[in-house]
Structure formats: C-alpha cells, structure tokens
C-alpha cells in the first residue's frame, strides 16, 4: 500500500523546511512565496523498532521497512481555487494524497514575511480549507452533469438509477454545506454516505502541524495558538513542532542528534510522531513477512482479510490463496521462534481471517 502525505499551507509557514527535515532532502526553503514551484516528492522509511528485533531473530540479511511518500506542495493563497497564485495546479496535486498535513505558523517573527496580517493559525487553516471546498464545487458540478446524463440514458439499469439518485442527493447536500463553508458537515456527509461519489479535497483525512518557536520547546502546548488548535481539532490531530530545530537536528550525525534531542528534551523524532499519528488517522496497521533473506513490513488498512493482505505481497498469492500460518511479533517476547509451534502459538488461518497489527505471515498458495 503506497501511503502519500501532502504538506499544505500558506506561503512561508515552514513547509519546505519541514519537508527537508523529514526526508533529509534539499528542496529550496527561501523567505519568499512560491519557492516550491513543483510539488517535490520524497520517500522515507517508516520507523518501526520491531524490525531490528525480527532481523536478529531470523538472522536476515536485510530489512525492507514500510515507506511513506511526502509531497511538498507549494503555498496556497486566498483565491487559489479561482487560479490566484499557483492555486489550480497545486490544488490538483492535493487530490493525489491520502493524508493532508496542514502546516500552520504559531509564532511571531518580523524577519519572516507574512502577507496575511497577524498570526492566526485557525484563520490560515480556514483559508486553505475554503479553497479546497471551492475547488470541490467545480468537481461536483461536473459530476452532477454526468449523473443527469446517465439518469436519462435508457441503458441505465434500475439499480444504477437508484445509486445515481442517492449520489445526486448526497452531492446536493454537500453543495449546501460548501455554500456555507461548513467543512464539518462535509466530513459527516461523506462518512455516513451509503453510496460512493467523487473524492473530495475538503473531505480528506488530515493532521495539523503547529509550527512553534524555540522558546516554546519546553512546553509547546502552553502556546495559546496551539491550545486553540487542540481545542478545535483534538489532541490526536495536532502535532506541535519547532520546525527550525527539526531542521537543525536533521543535519546532525546520529550521536550528535541524540545528544541535542536529550538536551532539548525531545523524546522522539518528529517523523516518528507524524508516522504514528498518520497511521492512526488513516486506520493503518503493519504485518510482516520474515525469512533469512529479508524482514519486510507491509502497511494495510485495519480490517483487511489475510487473502487481501496476501495480494499486497503479490497478486498470485491472493489469486491462489489456500491458507496462512500466522503468529504475532508479541509472541516472540515470551517464546523462542523455534518453540512457537510446540506451544500452539502458530495458527493456520483461512481467507477471512482479519490481519492484526504485528502479525507475521507465511502464505500458502497454488496457481
């Protein structure tokens, strides 16, 4: 499963600097709008401490961690949906991501250009979200035209007409919510819908990166802007980060980085926090395939059957699926690998088994 996360925000909020820190990349990060002219993409590994333990257990030659693609999308401005700034191009790029990271500036600095007046991260978020909703409106109008044509087509079956009618009603209600710039209602309508429709930018899952100053490092949640963001979106969606410090950390060697993190009381790298919260909000878990050649981590949606999970490894495994031998990485904490079968920890599961986080899988198939 290819996970793609897009960094979105107004100009000069720290997006490109954060992107560089997360991916050890070198995208220009200049103090002027639109320095990111093309969406930059970098693939980084998902940190997982279980991988090292599994490699030692199996004496494997290498690890193949799960990966996530970060997309640095140029700063949007008010009017982007109507083509202001570089809006049309980059609103299209947001459509391709699974999760949006809204990067919001939560500190004053007269040396960093800001065209939007006083610091107000909630207002900045609303500016971005309003543009996403307005762009969605264009897509909805086009979809409604197609639905009208399909309903008039004599070749459309009764069931198709029923689904199209329900979709038309859904889009009508979403349009009403967009007219009111009511994003929470859009989320609820899409989540509760019994019929599929076009993917909407304003309904995408998201996290909030609250960019704080070095002075806030000791207690980022004491920052009044961060407090408002947490009150609005909940603690699970808001990640306070001093992007300047993260940028400095990314340029240090392992020991120097560890020493600086300890000095600043940073418990884990921001990348780990973002991955953990991204997994949580996207409903992802990880299963493993293990052997002497490699330890391979596979991200899937929670609730995926073992047969469908086998298809993530290779389509032949799903097509010819017979069964799977499964145990969980947690079992290795109490039982040596060689004795797992003896104590009944290794189970044989059929196609409908729901894979659990940390499962170690051996698929048996025939094609």
Give 159-203 pLDDT, tens digit per residue: 999 999 999 999 999 999 999 888 889 999 999 999 999 989 899
* Confidence (pLDDT) at 90: 59
Residue bearing the bigger pLDDT, 311 or 76: 311
Query: Closest Cα partner for 125 from 237, 242, 245?
Result: 237
With tokens 């609103």, the residue in question is 91
CB 226 within 8 A of CB 106: yes
Q: Which two tokens stand for residue 205?
A: 């899952």
Q: What is the 3-class SS of the chain, one letter each residue?
A: CCEEEEEECCCCCCHHHHHHHHHCCCCCCCCCCCCCCCCEEEEEECCCCHHHHHHHHHCCCEEECCEEEEEECCCCCCCHHHCCCCHHHHHHHHCCCCEEEEEEECCCCCCCCCCCCCCCHHHHHHHHHHHHHHHHHHHHHHHHHHHHHHHHCCCCCHHHHHHHHHHHHHHHHHHHHHHCCCHHHHHHHHHHCCCCCCCCHHHCEEEEEEECCHHHCCCHHHCHHHHHHHHHHCCCCEEEECHHHHHHHHCCCHHHHHHHHHHCCCCCCHHHHHHHHHHHHHCEEEEEEECCCEEEEEEEECCCEHHHHHHHHCHHHHHCEEEEEEEEHHHHHCCCHHHCCCCCCCEEECCCCECCCCEEEEEEECC
With tokens 């797992």, the residue in question is 340
On whether residue 68 sits in a domain, the answer given is no
On whether residue 340 sits in a domain, the answer given is yes
Q: What are phi and psi of 178, to 5 degrees?
A: -65, -40
On whether residue 358 sits in a domain, the answer given is yes
pLDDT, average across residues 335-344:
95
Give 11-27 pLDDT, tens digit per residue: 878 888 888 887 775 44
Instruction: Assess whether pLDDT exceeds 70 at residue 367.
Output: yes
Instruction: Provide the β-strand partners of residue 326.
Output: 347, 361
Using pLDDT thresholds of 50, 70 and 90, give the confidence band for residue 33: very low
Using pLDDT thresholds of 50, 70 and 90, give the confidence band for residue 131: confident
On whether residue 361 sits in a domain, the answer given is yes
pLDDT, average across residues 266-275:
81
Instruction: Assess whether pLDDT exceeds 70 at residue 91.
Output: no
Residue-number span of the structural domain to which 328 is assigned = 303-365
* Confidence (pLDDT) at 112: 57
Select the highest-mean-pLDDT range: 70-74, 261-265, 360-364: 360-364
Residue bearing the bigger pLDDT, 322 or 6: 322
Instruction: Assess whether pLDDT exceeds 80 at residue 288.
Output: yes
* Confidence (pLDDT) at 226: 96
On whether residue 211 sits in a domain, the answer given is no
Distance between CA atoms of residues 21 and 12, nearest Å: 16
Distance between CA atoms of residues 40 and 30, nearest Å: 15
pLDDT, average across residues 265-288:
86
Q: Which two tokens stand for residue 104?
A: 């919001």
CATH number for the domain harbouring residue 318: 3.10.20.30
Residue bearing the bigger pLDDT, 351 or 248: 351
In this prediction, what percent of the chain has a pLDDT beyond 90?
53
Instruction: Assess whether pLDDT exceeds 60 at residue 79.
Output: no
pLDDT, average across residues 336-352:
96
CB 326 within 8 A of CB 347: yes
On whether residue 326 sits in a domain, the answer given is yes
Distance between CA atoms of residues 278 and 265, nearest Å: 23
Instruction: Assess whether pLDDT exceeds 90 at residue 247.
Output: no
Rounded to the nearest angstrom, the gap between the alpha carbon of residue 298 and the centroid of all alpha carbons in its chain is: 15
* Confidence (pLDDT) at 362: 97
Residue bearing the bigger pLDDT, 4 or 286: 286
* Confidence (pLDDT) at 89: 57
* Confidence (pLDDT) at 154: 87
Q: Which two tokens stand for residue 107?
A: 């500190």
Instruction: Assess whether pLDDT exceeds 60 at residue 307.
Output: yes
Mean pLDDT estimate for the chain:
86
With tokens 């909703």, the residue in question is 133
CB 353 within 8 A of CB 326: yes
The number of domains in the chain is: 1
On whether residue 204 sits in a domain, the answer given is no
On whether residue 313 sits in a domain, the answer given is yes
Distance between CA atoms of residues 300 and 288, nearest Å: 11
Residue bearing the bigger pLDDT, 296 or 44: 296
Strands across the sheet containing 62-64: 62-64, 294-301, 284-290, 359-365, 321-328, 347-349
Instruction: Assess whether pLDDT exceeds 50 at residue 85.
Output: no
Instruction: Assess whether pLDDT exceeds 50 at residue 255.
Output: yes
Angle at 272 between CA 266 and CA 275, to 5 degrees: 145
Instruction: Assess whether pLDDT exceeds 50 at residue 275.
Output: yes
* Confidence (pLDDT) at 122: 93
* Confidence (pLDDT) at 51: 95
With tokens 């100009």, the residue in question is 11
Give 109-122 pLDDT, tens digit per residue: 765 555 556 789 99
* Confidence (pLDDT) at 56: 96
């Amino acid at each position: 499963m290819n996970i793609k996360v897009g960094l979105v925000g107004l100009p000069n909020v720290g997006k490109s600097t954060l992107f560089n820190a997360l991916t050890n990349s070198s995208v220009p990060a200049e103090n002027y709008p639109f320095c990111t002219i093309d969406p930059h993409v970098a693939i980084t590994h998902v940190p997982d401490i279980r991988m090292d333990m599994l490699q030692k257990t199996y004496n494997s030659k290498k690890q193949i961690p799960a990966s996530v693609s970060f997309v640095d999308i140029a700063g949007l401005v008010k009017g982007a949906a109507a083509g202001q700034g570089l809006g049309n191009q980059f609103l299209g790029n947001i459509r391709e991501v699974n999760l949006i990271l809204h990067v919001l500036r939560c500190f004053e600095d007269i040396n960093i250009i800001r065209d939007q007046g006083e610091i107000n991260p909630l207002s900045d978020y609303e500016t971005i979200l309003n543009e996403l909703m307005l762009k969605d409106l264009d897509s909805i109008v086009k979809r409604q035209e197609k639905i009208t044509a399909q309903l008039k087509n004599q070749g459309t079956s009764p069931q198709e007409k029923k689904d199209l009618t329900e979709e038309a009603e859904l889009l009508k209600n979403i349009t009403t919510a967009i007219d009111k710039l009511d994003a929470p209602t859009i989320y609820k309508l899409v989540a509760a819908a019994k019929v599929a429709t076009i993917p909407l930018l304003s309904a995408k899952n998201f996290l909030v990166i609250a960019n704080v100053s070095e002075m806030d490092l000791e207690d980022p949640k004491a920052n009044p802007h961060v407090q408002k963001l947490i009150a609005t979106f909940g603690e699970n969606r808001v990640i306070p980060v001093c992007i300047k410090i993260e940028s400095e950390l990314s340029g240090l060697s392992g020991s120097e980085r560890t020493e600086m993190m300890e000095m600043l009381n940073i418990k884990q790298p921001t990348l780990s926090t973002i991955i953990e919260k991204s997994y949580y909000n996207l409903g992802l878990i990880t299963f493993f395939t293990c052997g002497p050649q490699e330890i391979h981590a596979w991200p899937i949606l929670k609730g995926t059957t073992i047969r469908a999970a086998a298809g993530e490894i290779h389509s032949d495994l799903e097509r010819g699926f017979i069964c799977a031998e499964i145990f969980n990485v947690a079992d290795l904490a109490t039982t040596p690998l060689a004795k797992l079968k003896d104590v009944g920890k290794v189970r044989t599961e059929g196609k409908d088994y729901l894979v659990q986080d940390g499962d170690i899988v051996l698929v048996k198939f025939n094609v």
